[in-house]
């Protein structure tokens, strides 16, 4: 009887111990897999993350959220609310990098955060857009996207064990060039609609010259009024600080959640796969430097 009782008692205890050991092993594997980028990679020093953007349709801007207003491209042009597929344009010779995001502070350990700033952006449409006029004529315009000349684009990044979360508010500048004659229109969402004269204009320039250089457009209020200064050449507003302060244009707010990272070199933060940052009306899916083979870039 004692022997039977001892066996009945010992068996569940041994099974329980085996279960606990197995559970501990699973937990250990889970922790190891989630912690593969830590702790040796911390602290993560401040630095730049460089990206390349493929023209495969995963990066786009949809103007349906805030259409280009009527008469922007010329008298009688209708509002434009189409979607533009974008791809990267290298920032300089010998490099395919088109986007740079700067982490401005070091992160001491998992869960720490740093301010981030988009310091470079160079995208172009994979093809021209079609602008329609009230008389049913159409024009072809190419599209390039850069950063606002008036307002900085920034946000925050939280770096976890092997993933990161980020939110980035971007004020883009769209440069449209008419295919037929090279006429350029610039739609800068960081502007204020101020009528300040352009930098570089001489005191002897006529009011007509100034009027040609800075045109104030009132875009449709979607979702809120967003006055935008449009400049027909490369000369910038003389009062850019005031323009940025007065801007009511909502930025493109791109967010990324649970994007993986890992150390490329010992102790170096590195985004190893393409990330997807998106909102309702825009998406940017850049890959790390060297991840995309540029076949050709539309100008």
The verdict on residue 293 lying in a domain is: no
Same domain, 14 and 106: no
Q: Which stretch, 4-18, 137-151, 202-216, 225-239, has highest mean pLDDT?
A: 137-151
Report the chain's mean pLDDT, rounded to a whole number. Answer: 76
Are 206 and 85 in the same domain?
yes
Q: How many domains does the chain have?
A: 2
- Report pTM: 0.73
The answer to whether residue 299 sits within a structural domain is no
Does the residue 29 lie in any domain?
A: yes
Q: Are residues 104 and 245 in the same domain?
A: yes
What is the average per-residue pLDDT within 151-163?
A: 95
- 286 pLDDT exceeds 70? yes
pLDDT for 21 beyond 50: no
Instruction: Mark whether 112 and 12 lie in a shared domain.
Output: no
Residue 264 in any domain: the answer is yes
Q: Are residues 69 and 161 in the same domain?
A: yes
Q: Are residues 97 and 15 in the same domain?
A: no
Q: For the chain, what is the radius of gyration of the CA atoms?
A: 26
pLDDT at position 250 is: 81
Are 158 and 10 in a shared domain?
no
Token pair for 220: 């449709």
- Domain assignment present for residue 184? The answer is yes
Per-position b or e across 90-111, b if 16+ CB within 10 A of its CB: eeeeeebbbbbbbbeeebeebe
Q: What is the mean pLDDT of residues 35-58?
A: 86
Residues 152 and 216 in one domain: yes
Whether 298 is in a domain gets the answer no
pLDDT at 34 over 70: no
Q: Are 161 and 141 in the same domain?
A: yes
Q: In the predicted model, is pLDDT for residue 108 greater than 50?
A: yes
Residue 277 has pLDDT above 70, yes or no: yes
In a domain, 210, yes or no: yes
Helices (H), the chain: 2-34, 207-213, 240-246
Selected residue with higher pLDDT from 229 and 287: 287
Q: Is residue 53 part of a domain?
A: yes
Q: Does residue 2 share a domain with residue 130?
A: no
54-72: per-residue pLDDT in tens? Answer: 999 999 999 998 899 999 9
Residue 299, pLDDT > 50, answer no
Q: For residue 176, give its domain range.
A: 40-288
pLDDT at residue number 56 = 94
Q: Output DSSP code: residue 39.
A: T
**Range of lowest pLDDT (228-232, 265-269, 277-281):** 228-232
- Of residues 46 and 218, more confidence is placed in 46
The pLDDT value recorded for residue 28 is: 36
Local structure of 1: helix, strand or coil: coil
Work out the pLDDT band at 191, boundaries 50, 70, 90.
confident
Do 128 and 6 share a structural domain? no
Same domain, 25 and 92: no
Rounded CA separation 53/274 (Å): 9
Between the alpha carbon of residue 154 and those of residues 47, 86, 172, 269, the distances in Å are 14, 21, 12, 19
Q: What percent of the chain has pLDDT over 90?
A: 57
Q: Say which range, 30-39, 118-127, 139-148, 156-165, has the weakest mean pLDDT.
A: 30-39
């Amino acid at each position: 009887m004692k022997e039977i009782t001892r066996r009945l008692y010992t068996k569940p205890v041994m099974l329980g111990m085996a279960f606990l050991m197995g559970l501990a092993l699973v937990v250990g594997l889970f922790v190891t897999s989630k912690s593969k980028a830590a702790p040796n990679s911390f602290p993560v020093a401040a630095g730049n993350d460089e990206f390349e953007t493929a023209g495969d349709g995963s990066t786009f801007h949809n103007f349906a959220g805030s259409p280009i207003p009527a008469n922007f491209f010329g008298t009688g042009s209708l509002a434009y609310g189409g979607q533009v597929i974008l791809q990267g344009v290298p920032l300089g010779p010998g490099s395919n990098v088109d986007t740079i995001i700067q982490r401005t502070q070091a992160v001491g350990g998992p869960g720490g955060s740093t301010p981030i700033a988009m310091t470079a952006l160079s995208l172009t449409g994979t093809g021209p857009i079609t602008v329609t006029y009230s008389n049913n004529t159409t024009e072809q315009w190419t599209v390039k996207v850069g950063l606002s000349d008036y307002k900085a684009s920034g946000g925050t990044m939280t770096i976890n064990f092997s993933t990161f979360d980020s939110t980035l508010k971007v004020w883009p500048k769209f440069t449209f060039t008419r295919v037929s004659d090279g006429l350029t229109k610039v739609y800068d969402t960081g502007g204020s609609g101020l009528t300040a004269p352009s930098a570089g204009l001489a005191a002897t320039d006529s009011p007509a010259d100034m009027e040609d250089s800075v045109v104030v457009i009132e875009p449709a209020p979607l979702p809120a009024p967003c006055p935008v200064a449009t400049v027909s050449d490369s000369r910038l507003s003389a009062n850019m600080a005031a323009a940025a302060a007065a801007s009511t244009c909502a930025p493109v707010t791109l967010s990324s959640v649970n994007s993986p990272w890992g150390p490329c070199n010992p102790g170096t933060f590195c985004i190893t796969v393409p990330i997807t940052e998106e909102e309702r009306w825009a998406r940017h899916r850049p890959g790390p430097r060297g991840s995309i083979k540029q076949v050709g870039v539309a100008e």
